[in-house]
């Protein structure tokens, strides 16, 4: 389900919050910033709190960034001073570090080798330890984000080149990171050896290359010859060429985030050789096999669940139809609703189509239930539209554990599946029945036996999680690795 809550900006959203989106551009002209802008537009769904672009002309690095959506941060004229053939960009949702001006990326620092700009998607589980080491070495940290830790460690790393310095410091970073780096005369990108987050490389038709969090952003810019940046790999862009180096060995057991397929990525993305749209349809098909029910119509909670609902309908033989109309423009707003509108909650973002629901037994397909705060209101909307029964089907297992790798799932005491069993959750949301896809069926839908991180479902983390982090999430007895 896309973020919904009592108000558009509420922190109680009953959905995992997006991570971040990054982009790196090397062009044959001075228009890298403009390409970055359109690339970030295609990555807007990955973070709606802040955006920024840094550009280099061969000598100087310039940056423009701020809080808000991409189109709000980059108004008319703001791109004009950002002249250069190299650029990186970032669209942010805060996972580590609060949402404030000082945490907006890219970070730009001056070093003895020249200016350095860094933007990051992910989360380091050893960031506190690394931060303390930097403070003891006399570094002055200005933000609460672990992305600044990455930037300062890179600035102080040993090596004859930026590529060598990045390769030397990467083994010290534990957890999820997709990093884009800008110097005065080149751009670089790196991906953690577990492969938590997606990162892909594409070639521009006019020469040069782009690296972005999702393949859809590359295709938006007309890129061809698209390939995945491999786990543990560094890619250096410059002179119209892309040089690839395996900086650290990829981990024997990969840990791609399953939620990229379930919810985060746009349906036009391809990751791990899989079409995200097809993966979601497969999830719905497996859900129909695992949790069949006698019903008259299958509906989706738009938008990420639509392919899954189509898949459920295909296997079950139950007709698919639209049940909700989504207001796609409410999103992040700077105008707070009145108390009366706030009490309506979900109705700010969804209306129903009563003619498609009245007197019918409805299967409502959604991608996840996190806190349990909006599934109930959605069920009520369907009942108020005249449905005789509402059967909820979820395309992933119950989320019972928080994420420490860059996704805001909430804390243990906020996760409804950590507190209640499936029958109790069903009663809580007021459904006639409730079915979650099992881990085994979910992986079958993806056509994979391993290589994915399912810690939010199982509590088994690919990277050992510090007790301090578990404490912050409200529990000490979760699996540590």
For the annotated catalytic residues, the residue numbers are 20
Q: Please tell me whether residue 211 adopts helix, strand or coil conformation.
A: strand
Distance CA 123, CA 406 (A): 5
To 10 degrees, what angle do helices 127-136 and 146-155 make? 50
What is the C-alpha to C-alpha distance for residues 406 and 96, in angstroms, rounded to an integer? 8
**Token pair recorded at residue 1:** 């389900």
299 near 326, Cβ under 8 Å?
A: no
Token look-up 């690296």 returns: 211
List the helix and strand counts (H, then E) for the chain: 17, 24
Short-list 384, 385, 382, 340, CA closest to 363: 382
The pairing of beta strand 389-394 with beta strand 361-366: parallel
Burial letters 171-206, b for 16+ CB under 10 A, else e = eebbbbbbbbbbbbbbbbbbbbbbbbbbbbbbbbee
What is the distance, to the nearest Å, from the Cα of residue 111 to the centroid of all Cα atoms in its chain? Answer: 31
CA–CA distance, 398 with 223 (Å, rounded to integer) = 38
**From residue 101, how far is each of 68, 123, 142, 253 by CA, in Å?**
10, 19, 11, 37
CA dist 172 and 193 (Å) reads: 11
* Residue 57 structure tokens: 């002309």
* 313 within 8 A of 320, measured Cβ to Cβ: yes
Question: What is the C-alpha to C-alpha distance for residues 1 and 19, in angstroms, rounded to an integer?
Answer: 15
Is the bond preceding residue 303 a cis peptide, omega within 30 degrees? yes
Q: Which residue has 């979601």 as its token pair?
A: 280
Q: Residue 271: beta bridge partners? A: 274
Could you give the CA distance from residue 197 to residue 207 in angstroms, rounded to a whole number? 26
Distance CA 417, CA 340 (A): 30
CA-to-CA dists, residue 7 to 77, 93, 238, 373, angstroms: 32, 17, 45, 12
Q: Are 9 and 332 in contact (CB under 8 A)?
A: yes
Peptide bond into 106 cis (omega under 30): yes
């Amino acid at each position: 389900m896309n973020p919904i809550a009592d108000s558009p900006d509420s922190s109680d959203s009953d959905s995992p919050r997006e991570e971040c989106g990054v982009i790196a551009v090397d062009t044959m002209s001075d228009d890298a910033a403009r390409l970055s802008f359109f690339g970030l537009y295609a990555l807007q769904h990955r973070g709606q709190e802040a955006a920024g672009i840094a550009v280099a002309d061969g000598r100087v690095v310039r940056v423009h960034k701020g809080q808000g959506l991409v189109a709000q941060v980059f108004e008319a004229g703001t791109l004009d001073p950002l002249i250069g053939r190299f650029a990186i960009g970032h669209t942010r949702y805060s996972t580590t570090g609060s949402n404030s001006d000082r945490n907006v990326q890219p970070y730009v620092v001056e070093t003895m080798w020249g200016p350095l700009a860094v933007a990051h998607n992910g989360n380091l589980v050893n960031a506190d330890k690394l931060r303390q080491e930097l403070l003891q070495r006399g570094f002055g940290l200005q933000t609460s984000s672990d992305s600044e830790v990455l930037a300062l460690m890179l600035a102080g790393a040993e090596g004859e080149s930026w590529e060598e310095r990045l390769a030397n410091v990467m083994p010290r970073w534990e957890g999820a990171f997709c990093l884009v780096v800008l110097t005065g005369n080149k751009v670089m990108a790196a991906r953690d050896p577990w492969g938590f987050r997606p990162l892909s490389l594409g070639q521009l038709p006019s020469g040069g290359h782009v690296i972005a969090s999702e393949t859809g952003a590359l295709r938006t810019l007309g890129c061809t010859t698209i390939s995945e940046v491999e786990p543990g790999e560094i890619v250096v862009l410059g002179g119209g060429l892309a040089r690839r180096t395996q900086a650290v060995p990829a981990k024997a057991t990969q840990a791609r985030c399953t939620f990229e397929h379930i919810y985060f990525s746009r349906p036009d993305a391809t990751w791990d050789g899989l079409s995200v749209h097809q993966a979601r349809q497969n999830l719905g098909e497996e859900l129909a096999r695992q949790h069949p029910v006698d019903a008259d119509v299958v509906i989706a909670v738009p938008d990420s669940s639509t392919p899954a609902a189509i898949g459920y309908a295909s296997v079950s033989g139950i007709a698919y139809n639209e049940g909700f109309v989504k207001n796609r423009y409410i999103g992040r707003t700077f105008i707070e609703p009145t108390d009366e509108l706030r009490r309506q909650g979900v109705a700010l973002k969804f209306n129903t189509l009563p003619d498609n629901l009245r007197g019918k037994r409805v299967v409502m397909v959604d991608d996840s239930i996190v806190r349990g705060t909006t599934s109930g209101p959605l069920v009520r909307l369907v009942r108020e539209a005249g449905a005789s029964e509402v059967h909820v089907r979820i395309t992933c297992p119950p989320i019972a554990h928080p994420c420490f790798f860059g996704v805001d799932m909430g804390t243990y005491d906020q996760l409804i599946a950590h507190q209640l069993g499936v029958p109790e959750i069903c009663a809580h949301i007021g459904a006639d029945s409730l079915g979650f896809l099992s881990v085994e069926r979910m992986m079958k839908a993806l056509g994979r036996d391993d290589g994915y991180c399912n810690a939010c479902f199982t509590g088994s983390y690919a990277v050992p999680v510090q007790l301090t982090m578990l404490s912050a999430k409200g529990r000490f007895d979760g699996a540590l690795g």
